[in-house]
Structure 1
Amino acid sequence: MIDFYYWPTPNGWKVSIMLEETGLPYALKPVDIGAGDQFKPDYLAISPNARMPAIVDNDTPDGPLPIFESGAILIHLAEKAGRFIPTSRVGRKQCLEWLFWQVGNLGPMAGQLSHFVNYAKSVQAGDHDYAHKRYAGEYNRCLGVLEQRLRGRDFILDDYSIADMISWPWVLIAKPLGQSLEAFPHVSRWRDTIKSRPAVRRGVDLGKPMRRTGPHTEAANKILFGQSARSLGG
């Protein structure tokens, strides 16, 4: 059994989709990031970065194994299930390249853009214009990289894989981030193809009742956006 520490966000969907695709048994462990659950000592012992998602694989030869960071989790689950990661040397190399591309480029750029689209509206007008434009431009650039990769192919690799699962959630929300996919027809087609998969729909819907339906409270904003090294205790 896999303990899945989760809150419904694009980062969490990467792993919820993989768990649904593989059928690996898991127990959902909600971590309310607006309430500060991610800073509790028990969770920090699993995820020292205090971020979602994380897992504990209770079925390994070495006993319960905690894993944090979505890329590492996806590699572990793919190897455990024997699915969604190439077995050839070249294929595995390409898979790792695109996993690292997501965690170093698409994910951070989209995440920062999301912050300025969704949470910085109360900042005095003009104070965050540069940052908003910077991350919007980088998100657009990443979509261009993905568009070129998907030209003439159905998926990022030869077959559907964790390389697709890790990037797809941040493309799913392109419209709310203010980015049309009209200029990216291959990305748009890829997005729709993956969205049609039943396991993907189940993964995105996981924990749907927990999603925020209105503005964060001032207390939640302080927890989410007022973090520093002191937030981790110690």
Structure 2
Amino acid sequence: MIEVYSWPTPNGHKVHIMLEECRLPYRVIPVDIGAGDQFDPKFLSISPNNKIPAIIDPQGPDGRPMSLFESGAILLYLAGKTGQFLPTDTRGRYEVLQWLMFQMGGVGPMLGQAHHFRIYAPEKIEYAIDRYTNEAQRLYGVIDKRLAQSKYIAGDAYSIADMAIFPWLRSWKNQGVELADYGHLKGWFDELAARPAVKRAVEVLADHRRPLVDDKARENLFGGTQYKRH
């Protein structure tokens, strides 16, 4: 059984979705990022960047336990382990990989900054709010244009690229976006949200979720604790 060290965030849900879609048995170990669980030495031993999610697969590719951090790497690992949601042909594989990298390098970081400056920052900085809200809207436009041409993000088949992007768009209101303005994206979003595996995945640790705006959470996520050497 795969051990998943996680929290109900977009990056956590990416991996929850893949595990549910593949019907892999897994056990979730909550890592309360507001309380500072990400700095526990045991967690750092498998996720040295102190970020969730991370996994331990007791049956790694050589039959020995294997740990992994970084959600994109975990999605690729699980796709390789199960032979699902990542094409085997070279062209199809790279179609998926380019959109997975688009999420890892653009959607996640930029929408994360939009969340930070619009919601979590202790002072409202108009330049930063405008900068990242505009970038969020631009990225939604890129996705909408793509989905005007393609059933799914990377082509005709549902893939890990869809799983990676979808959870980040669930907080569209917090990003200063109106989902109805992106018709092709909204159709895709509603279809994915209705998938049974996705419904199960986004409920993982949902009862643990709370606003991360108290002083302790701010310190652990954005303050000096985050920048100490652990």
Q: TM-score, normalised by structure 1?
A: 0.93
Offset at residue 118 of structure 1 (A) = 1.7
In the alignment, the residues of structure 2 paired with residue 57 and residue 231 of structure 1 have an alpha-carbon distance, to the nearest angstrom, of 29
In the alignment, the residues of structure 2 paired with residue 138 and residue 206 of structure 1 have an alpha-carbon distance, to the nearest angstrom, of 29
Structure-to-structure mapping, 1:1-234, within 5 angstroms: 1-60=1-60, 61-120=62-121, 122-123=122-123, 125=124, 128-157=125-154, 158-212=156-210, 214=211, 216-227=213-224, 230-233=227-230
Offset at residue 62 of structure 1 (A) = 4.7
Residue 173 of structure 2: SS of its match in structure 1? Answer: coil
Residue 33 of structure 1: SS of its match in structure 2? Answer: coil
Q: Which amino acid aligns with 1:90?
A: R
CA deviation map 1:107-149 (0-9, x unaligned): 10111101112212x41x5xx1111111111111111111111
Contact 1:85 1:161 in 2 (8 A): yes
Offset at residue 227 of structure 1 (A) = 4.5
Offset at residue 215 of structure 1 (A) = 5.5
Number of residue pairs matched? Answer: 228
Residue 200 of structure 1: SS of its match in structure 2? Answer: helix
In the alignment, the residues of structure 2 paired with residue 221 and residue 115 of structure 1 have an alpha-carbon distance, to the nearest angstrom, of 11
Contact 2:220 2:226 in 1 (8 A): no
Q: Which amino acid aligns with 1:16?
A: H
Aligned-pair identity (%) = 47
Contact 2:136 2:175 in 1 (8 A): no
Gaps of 5+ in 1: none
In the alignment, the residues of structure 2 paired with residue 229 and residue 35 of structure 1 have an alpha-carbon distance, to the nearest angstrom, of 12
Residue 67 of structure 1: SS of its match in structure 2? Answer: strand
Q: Which amino acid aligns with 1:111?
A: G
Change (3 A) 1:215 1:5: closer
Q: Which amino acid aligns with 2:207?
A: P
Residue 150 of structure 1: SS of its match in structure 2? Answer: helix
In the alignment, the residues of structure 1 paired with residue 229 and residue 24 of structure 2 have an alpha-carbon distance, to the nearest angstrom, of 31
Offset at residue 193 of structure 1 (A) = 0.6
Q: Which amino acid aligns with 1:134?
A: R
Offset at residue 217 of structure 1 (A) = 2.1
Change (3 A) 1:80 1:227: farther
Gaps of 5+ in 2: none
Contact 2:152 2:188 in 1 (8 A): yes
Offset at residue 231 of structure 1 (A) = 2.6
- Structure with greater helix share of residues: 2
In the alignment, the residues of structure 1 paired with residue 66 and residue 15 of structure 2 have an alpha-carbon distance, to the nearest angstrom, of 16
Residue 12 of structure 2: SS of its match in structure 1? Answer: helix
CA deviation map 1:26-49 (0-9, x unaligned): 111110111111111111110111
Contact 1:39 1:232 in 2 (8 A): no
In the alignment, the residues of structure 2 paired with residue 21 and residue 229 of structure 1 have an alpha-carbon distance, to the nearest angstrom, of 33
